Chains A and B, each alone.
Chain A
Amino acid sequence: MFRILDKQVLSPVIKQMVIEAPLVARKCQAGQFIILRIHEEGERIPLTIADFDREKGTITLVFQEVGKTTIQLGSLEAGDSIRDFVGPLGTPSHIEKFGTVICVGGGVGVAPVFPIARALKEAGNHVIGIMGSRTRELMFWEDKMREVCHELFVTTDDGSYVRKGFVTDVLKEVIEERGKDNIAMVLAIGPQPMMRACCNLTREYGIKTVVSLNSLMVDGTGMCGCCRVTVGGRTRFVCVDGPEFDGHEVDFAELARRSATFRVEEQRAMEHHQCRCGQGCGGGR
């Protein structure tokens, strides 16, 4: 069992949890993820390691409640336990001194961007952060991002905070202003359409762009092939070959189709969950 030491509600649908998992904390690096299973009948879901404390042996997760499992996870409190927690999984981010890098986090994607931005800064890069969310209420970790970015741009789709616009709008402005040759790399993590849009933009400028893919997963160790995705015309497994890939090579359309494989069942799982737990866990939102 893995104990939840702390829980923060970052927005009505975004929660942060600190989990006691010393074996994972000891070795994990930026860009890696864990897979957890809440209870015996639960499914295995992947979540990115958003932060870690090697000394305390803890892992910080930030997740958005989108369906049965994340809602149920969000209903747990500090002191509760999670049945299974495995990691660190996936290949760590490739960190070296590139020069100026832009780290773009969309929505809950800000959480996985954070440790990578921090590692890039520590490696001597000039880190420009761009973070965006649909609306002010969903914005979190601005302070933490400010600590690990030399410059930080914030935007909301609806203009309810700082400015109105998508992260791609800001990205374009920054690239235009600095000049494409002065940007060594872009890292973009967030919802699939956002990553795709960032890649379409940077492709025009010829700037190398890394994305972190969120395919369906089961085991997370290369055993099932459920996470496969086409990158550069080749089939790759996101859980072991990724989750980071060259965004210009990713077949996003295929990824989107495969991600939707169980849409109907996911809906059913939610309904089943709500009718079993009533209002108790906030299933209805």
Chain B
Amino acid sequence: MTESKTPKKQIIPNKHPMPHQDPVERAKNFNEVALGYDEETAVAEAQRCLQCKKQPCRQGCPVEVFIPDFIKLVAERDFAGAIKKIKEKNALPAVCGRVCPQENQCEKYCTLGKKHEPVAIGRLERFCADWELAQGVLPQETAPATGFKVAVVGSGPAGLTCAADLAKLGHRVTIFEALHVAGGVLMYGIPEFRLPKRVVQAEIENLKKLGVEIITNAVVGKFATVDELMEEEGFDAVFVGTGAGLPIFMNIPGENSCGVYSANEFLTRTNLMKAYLFPDWDTPIKVGRKVAVLGGGNVAMDAARTALRLGAEESWIVYRRSEKELPARHEEVENAKEEGVKFAFLTSPTQIFADDNGWVKGMECLRYELGEPDDSGRRRPVPIPGSEFTMDVDTVVVAIGQTPNPLVPRTTRGLELGRKGNIVADPETGATSKPGVYAGGDVVTGAATVILAMGAGRIAARSIHDYLMNKKAQS
């Protein structure tokens, strides 16, 4: 330890750059954009870390990954030790290392970041996870069987994490997933070029090795309700992690024209159904020459970049506020710009025009200016009267947000719901108003992030375990 306390450590001001596929090339393919660090770069980047005593970076991570500890192990080339350290807190490092909004989380609080660029914590996390995947993941230990059965509804990051933790504690876990593959948004939403599906599937294979059973094609609320799972199928507890899958539309005239997609439809056709491989794969998608994507979040960036890859000549982000307010990750905005995505800020559509066949042929928009700050503290966009103009587009993707799918909330007796149809759950425990039923992830918080969903799954697993042990003690 004395060694790392050397007072005059040489500071390298910038992150080691992430190797990327060339923007011109990559805008035409679905291969991963960010290629990952090699061992030498990872070690060099890890050496930038100051090993701060107070570990401010950890406070920025929603699951408090032991950041300095794992980085130290990377610097020492003990990659196996490093990934083990990460996994003590984070069950999906290959995913989080790629998609976490690090600039608002761990890296935001990094001491180095005050004067220079922060340590590339996310990239290092990804490096360790990829290193492990390349080696073949070692089977994890599980506690002796408890005899309890837990149902996990939904296989997004919340459900996957909850299931893994419960299985390790010795419970018999069955995941019910509505779609034909597990993974939730990681499979159907986030594109291949940002999160390769093999990475997600590798995590799911690990879960199966822990003994978790995954039943796909199983819509809870349809083939059975949560109550039936508990009363008829003998599940002792249920975790609901059904996400926020319901698309919001603008409710403007012309929105049901052909060529108007929700981001969910656009991305599901492309990612889950692999429409970019049509006609070798059966599911079609159609993008025109000029695509407008409405919204400014990660989902909008993903849609706009996907549109280019599907052959659109122009792909526009149409956003009500200004560049500063874009909710998408900074890195993804940069990637999008590099690939040629264009931005129409302070602009919002008022109606969509269709041709005689019902296909989009244009979009009327209003220009906005920023007024007084609103409840969220951001300056409210106000329309400029008489500023109407028509954008020449033939495809529109609506990416203005999602709300929880009401299927499980509506079919479960005694579940308290929030104003937006979300399930109310105690953030400390994941407990809902219904005994034995826990919930977490986007279905509780509304559309949020992978790491928050994961953290919620982890917390709920802990409480479910306590609940079951209590039940055992009482019987």
Give the interface of A toward B (CB within 8 A). Answer: 23-24, 26-27, 37, 41-44, 68-69, 83-89, 218-219, 221-226, 228-230, 235, 240, 254, 257-258, 260-262, 264-266, 268-269, 272-273
Q: Which of B180, B224, B251 contacts A37 (CB 8 A)?
A: B180
| Contact B258–A223 (Cβ < 8 Å) | no
Q: Could you tell me the dominant secondary structure of chain A's interface residues?
A: mixed
Supposing A89-B222, A269-B278 touch, asked if A222 and B286 sit within 8 A by C-beta, the answer is no
Supposing A23-B218, A262-B284, A272-B279 touch, asked if A222 and B265 sit within 8 A by C-beta, the answer is no
Residue ID in chain A nearest B246 by CB atoms: A222
| Contact B224–A84 (Cβ < 8 Å) | no
A and B contact pairs by CB, cutoff 8 A, 28 listed: A23-B223, A26-B223, A27-B223, A41-B277, A41-B282, A42-B281, A69-B282, A83-B180, A84-B217, A86-B180, A88-B222, A88-B223, A89-B222, A218-B265, A218-B273, A219-B268, A221-B178, A221-B405, A223-B247, A223-B264, A225-B264, A225-B265, A226-B261, A226-B262, A229-B256, A235-B251, A268-B278, A272-B280
The 9 residue pairs across chains A and B that have the minimum distance between CB atoms: A257-B358, A265-B284, A43-B282, A224-B265, A86-B217, A272-B279, A225-B262, A84-B180, A43-B283
Most A CB contacts (10 A, CB to CB) among B179, B217, B259 go to: B217
CA distance A190 to B255 in the complex (A): 27
Q: Which of B216, B261, B273, B407 contacts A44 (CB 8 A)?
A: B273
CA distance A88 to B223 in the complex (A): 6
Which residues of chain A have C-beta atoms less than 8 A from B358's C-beta?
254, 257-258, 260
Which residues of chain A have C-beta atoms less than 8 A from B278's C-beta?
265, 268-269
CA distance A224 to B245 in the complex (A): 8
Residue ID in chain A nearest B218 by CB atoms: A23
| Contact A235–B256 (Cβ < 8 Å) | yes
| Contact A230–B279 (Cβ < 8 Å) | no
CA distance A37 to B278 in the complex (A): 15
Within 8 A of A (CB), among B242-298: 245-247, 249, 251, 255-259, 261-262, 264-265, 268-269, 273-274, 277-286
B219 at the interface (CB under 8 A from A): yes
The smallest beta-carbon distance between A218 and chain B, in angstroms, is 6
| Contact A219–B258 (Cβ < 8 Å) | no
The smallest beta-carbon distance between A271 and chain B, in angstroms, is 8
| Contact A257–B265 (Cβ < 8 Å) | no
B contact residues, range: 35 or more
CA distance A268 to B246 in the complex (A): 31
Which residues of chain B have C-beta atoms less than 8 A from A84's C-beta?
180, 216-217
Residue ID in chain A nearest B242 by CB atoms: A221
| Contact B274–A230 (Cβ < 8 Å) | no
Which residues of chain B have C-beta atoms less than 8 A from A87's C-beta?
219, 222-223
The smallest beta-carbon distance between B397 and chain A, in angstroms, is 11
- 11 new A-B contacts at CB < 8 Å, known A43-B283, A223-B246: A23-B224, A27-B223, A27-B224, A86-B219, A87-B223, A88-B223, A222-B405, A224-B265, A225-B249, A261-B259, A261-B286
Residue-wise, chain B 203-219 has the 8 Å CB interface mask toward A (1 for contact) of 00000000000001111
Supposing A84-B180, A257-B357, A258-B358 touch, asked if A268 and B219 sit within 8 A by C-beta, the answer is no
| Contact B247–A269 (Cβ < 8 Å) | no
| Contact A226–B222 (Cβ < 8 Å) | no
Give the interface of B toward A (CB within 8 A). Answer: 178-180, 216-219, 222-224, 245-247, 249, 251, 255-259, 261-262, 264-265, 268-269, 273-274, 277-286, 357-358, 405-407
Q: Which of B178, B179, B217, B265 contacts A85 (CB 8 A)?
A: B217
| Contact B258–A258 (Cβ < 8 Å) | yes
Residue ID in chain B nearest A23 by CB atoms: B223
Q: Which of B217, B258, B262 contacts A224 (CB 8 A)?
A: B262
Most B CB contacts (10 A, CB to CB) among A37, A43, A264 go to: A43
Which residues of chain B have C-beta atoms less than 8 A from A273's C-beta?
279
CA distance A257 to B179 in the complex (A): 27
The smallest beta-carbon distance between B121 and chain A, in angstroms, is 33
Which residues of chain A have C-beta atoms less than 8 A from B281's C-beta?
41-43
Which residues of chain A have C-beta atoms less than 8 A from B224's C-beta?
23, 26-27
The smallest beta-carbon distance between A268 and chain B, in angstroms, is 6
Which residues of chain B have C-beta atoms less than 8 A from A258's C-beta?
256, 258, 358
Supposing A218-B269, A230-B256, A265-B286 touch, asked if A223 and B219 sit within 8 A by C-beta, the answer is no
Most A CB contacts (10 A, CB to CB) among B180, B358, B405 go to: B180
The smallest beta-carbon distance between A48 and chain B, in angstroms, is 15
Supposing A44-B273, A224-B247, A224-B265 touch, asked if A89 and B255 sit within 8 A by C-beta, the answer is no
| Contact B258–A68 (Cβ < 8 Å) | no
CA distance A230 to B255 in the complex (A): 10
CA distance A235 to B258 in the complex (A): 14
Which residues of chain A have C-beta atoms less than 8 A from B217's C-beta?
84-86
| Contact B268–A218 (Cβ < 8 Å) | yes
Which residues of chain A have C-beta atoms less than 8 A from B178's C-beta?
86, 219, 221
Supposing A44-B273, A226-B265, A272-B279 touch, asked if A261 and B258 sit within 8 A by C-beta, the answer is yes
| Contact A235–B222 (Cβ < 8 Å) | no
| Contact B282–A219 (Cβ < 8 Å) | no
| Contact A266–B284 (Cβ < 8 Å) | yes
CA distance A257 to B357 in the complex (A): 7
Supposing A24-B223, A262-B286 touch, asked if A43 and B273 sit within 8 A by C-beta, the answer is yes
Q: Which of B257, B284, B357 contacts A269 (CB 8 A)?
A: B284
CA distance A26 to B457 in the complex (A): 30
| Contact A235–B255 (Cβ < 8 Å) | yes
Supposing A27-B224, A42-B282 touch, asked if A223 and B405 sit within 8 A by C-beta, the answer is yes
Supposing A42-B282, A89-B222 touch, asked if A228 and B246 sit within 8 A by C-beta, the answer is no
